[in-house]
Amino acid sequence: MITFGRAASEADLNQILALQRANLPGNLSSEEKKKEGFVTVPHTFDILKAMNDACPHIVAKNDGIVIGYALCMHPKFADEIEVLRPMFDEIFALNPKIENYIVMGQICIAKAFRGQGIFRQLYQTMQKGIRPEFGQIITEVDAENTRSVRAHYAVGFANLTTYRFGNQDWKVIQLK
């Protein structure tokens, strides 16, 4: 049975990192990346734990094993992960300013569990868990990660802005 909740232990964080490593671009074929999607940013245990301490990550578990996650990233971590700094620059530059938000720092579901509604449920669990402290979720998606772009639009995300960085186009999107 799949359950949804907050990351509550070092074991949860280590399982998130293992699932993350399995889905980084360097560990997937070109065909897998196009068909299944991928995650872009590798995290260290220390930064993942610090982020979790500020706002616990959302996890999906099957028989106690993490099979999906949505990372919660408080804006105070804007300078902690270099590759995400341009996204925060874009968010900070928006007019009118966006306040009262959390960044969903990365979402991933184990391959064997995709297509079962876990993506949607992770976001629903996140929305419930962040309120009333945060009113919306912002994230960015590599425009070439078409599976992820489609999935985010399907759960209600809308475009905020698109920017180019590192020879890639990034969509900054929000869920209210």
pLDDT tens readout for residues 43-58: 999 999 999 999 999 9
- Burial of residue 87 (CB within 10 Å: 0-12, 13-18, 19+) is buried
| Residue 110, pLDDT score | 96
Confidence band (pLDDT; 50, 70, 90) for 34? confident
SS3 label, residue 66: strand
pLDDT of residue 136: 94
Is the domain 2-175 a CATH 3.90.550.10 member? no
pLDDT confidence of residue 145: 84
Q: How much is the pLDDT for 148? A: 87
Helix or strand (DSSP H, E) at 87: helix 85-93
Domain boundaries of the chain, sorted by first residue: 2-175
**Average pLDDT of the segment spanning 29-39:** 85
Confidence band of 39 (pLDDT split at 50, 70, 90): confident
User: How many CB atoms within 10 Å of residue 79?
Assistant: 9
Cα 129 to Cα 47, 83, 133: the distances in Å are: 21, 26, 9
3-state SS, residue 142: strand
Question: pLDDT for 123-161, tens place per residue?
Answer: 999 999 999 999 999 999 989 888 889 999 999 999 999
Q: 62-121: per-residue pLDDT in tens?
A: 999 999 999 999 999 999 998 899 999 999 999 899 989 999 999 999 999 999 999 999
